[in-house]
Amino acid sequence: MKIILSPARKMISDADHIAPVELPAFIDKTAAILGWMKGKSKGGRMTSRRNTIQKELVRNAIYEMKRHVTANEVYEFIKEAYPTIGKGTVYRNLDILVEEGALRKVEIPDGPNRFDCTLKNHYHVRCEICGGVYDVDMDEIPDLLERIHSTHGMKFLDYDILFKGICPACREKAKEEQNGRESNV
C-alpha cells in the first residue's frame, strides 16, 4: 500500500516534498498516517517538536533573565515586549523545553517551580527571606544514588538537593534595619 498526501495538505506547506511511503500491509492506515505526520513517538510523547517563535521567545527570556525564574516571571518578562502572548503558551513551551532537555525544572517545596539553564546535576540554595533560588558552587557528590541504602524498599531514581540560607542582599537589608533601630535608640 502507498500513502500519498492529498493536494490540500501540500497546499498547507510548500516545504513538503513528500515521496510516497511504502508501509507493511498489517499497519492500520489511519495510525500510519497520523504517526508519520506527527513524527516518531516514544511512550506516547513526541520525541522532537518543531521550533516555534514562541518557544524561542521563552528560551531566550530565561537566558536573558540570568537567574532561576518561575513560569510567571517568564510570562511577565515576555509580555512586556509581546503583550498578546498567552500565559498558557509560555507555560506549555516551558514544559516542552524541559521535556526536550533544553531547560531544567527545579522543584521548590512550598513555592513555585523554577527553571534553570544549567543542565548538569548541581545543587541549589533558597533564601528563606526573599525566596530567591541560586546555584551552589560545589562539586556533585559522586555516585550519590548508589550510596543510599533504602530501609523501605525504595528504588531511587533521581534527586534535587536544596539548601536553605539567607542571600547577601537580604543579609545586608537586615543589617541596615538593625543599624537603623540602634541609631534611633
The answer to whether residue 14 is domain-embedded is yes
| CATH number of the structural domain spanning residue 57 | 1.10.10
DSSP letters along 13-25, please? -TT--PPPEE--T
Range of the domain at 12: 2-46
Read off the pLDDT band of 159 (50, 70, 90). confident
Domain count, the chain: 3
The answer to whether residue 140 is domain-embedded is yes
The answer to whether residue 177 is domain-embedded is yes
Does 131 share its domain with 78? no
**pLDDT attached to residue 97:** 96
Mean pLDDT over 5-27 rounds to 36
**pLDDT attached to residue 86:** 95
pLDDT for 105 beyond 70: yes
Does 179 share its domain with 126? yes
Angle formed at CA 86 by CA 82 and CA 87, multiple of 5 degrees? 115
pLDDT in tens, 29-43: 433 433 433 443 444
Mean pLDDT over 3-8 rounds to 36
Q: What is the pTM of this model?
A: 0.63
Helix (H, G, I), strand (E, B) or coil at 151: coil
Cα atoms in the Cβ-side hemisphere of radius 13 Å centred on 83: 0
Q: Which residue has the higher pLDDT, 67 or 151?
A: 67
The answer to whether residue 82 is domain-embedded is yes
Read off the pLDDT band of 185 (50, 70, 90). low
pLDDT in tens, 44-54: 444 456 788 99
Q: CA nearest 117: which of 49, 61, 77, 172? A: 61
Does 72 share its domain with 93? yes
Does 38 share its domain with 66? no
Does 174 share its domain with 134? yes
| CATH number of the structural domain spanning residue 125 | 3.30.1490.190
**Alpha helices per DSSP H over 119-167:** 144-147
The answer to whether residue 57 is domain-embedded is yes
Mean pLDDT over 136-152 rounds to 83
